Amino acid sequence: MSDNKKIPVKAAPIISKSFAPIIADVVMLVLGICLLIWHEQVLNIISMVIGAFFILYSAYNLLAYARIKEKRNSDIKIVITAVALLIAGIFLVVRADFIREVISFIIGAYLIITSLIHMQNAIAANKQGNSAPLILAIVGLICGILCVLGKLALPGLMVQILGAMLIIFAFCDIVGVAIVRKK
C-alpha cells in the first residue's frame, strides 16, 4: 500500500508584504507627477478607461445572460447590474469632469486613513526618541484633508494640487519607511 498523502503546498506571494507599501508609494508618486504635469489629460484618460471597462463588463454580463438557457428569477440581478454599469460607463465617458471630484475624494480618504495608521505607528516610534515619522504622518494627514475639502478650490488648480499632494505624501511615506527600517 502506498501512502498518497497530499502535502499542501503554500504558494509564495508574488510581491513581498514588505515591498507592497513601497510599490504603492511609487505608483502614487508617478500618478502625482502625471496629475501635476498633464492634469486634464490624465483625468480624461482615467475617466474613459473606467467608463470603457464598465461598458465592456456590462456587455459581457448581458451576453452571458442571453446565453443562459433556463433563466431563473435570481438571474435578473445580472441584467440589472449590467444595465447600471452600462449607464455609469456611458456617463463616465461623456462626463469626464465628474471623475475629478470622485478621484479627489477617494485619494483624500486614502491619504487620511493611511496617515492615521502611520501616526499610530509613529507614536510608538516617537517613544524611542524619533519624531520624524510622526511629522511625516501629520503632513500626509493634512494632504488628505486638503484633498477631501478641495472641492472648494478651482477645479483645474485642485487637480494640480492633488498631484503635488500625492508627490509629497509618497515621498514622506518612502522616507518614513526608510527611517523605520533603519532602526
Q: Which stretches of 21-119 are assigned E, i.e. beta strand?
A: none
Using one digit for the tens of pLDDT, what is the confidence trace for 64-85? 888 877 777 767 888 888 899 9
Q: DSSP assignment, residue 13? A: P
**Is the confidence at residue 131, as pLDDT, over 80?**
no
- Name the band, by pLDDT with cuts 50, 70 and 90, for residue 134: confident
**Is the confidence at residue 15, as pLDDT, over 50?**
no
Using one digit for the tens of pLDDT, what is the confidence trace for 36-58? 888 778 778 888 888 899 999 99
Give the model's pLDDT for residue 92: 86
Radius of gyration of the chain (CA): 22
Helix, strand, coil percentages for the chain (3-state, nearest 5): 80, 0, 20
How many C-beta atoms lie closer than 10 Å to residue 62's C-beta? Answer: 17
Give Cβ neighbours of residue 158 (< 8 Å, ≥ 6 apart).
100, 104, 150, 151
Give the model's pLDDT for residue 47: 82
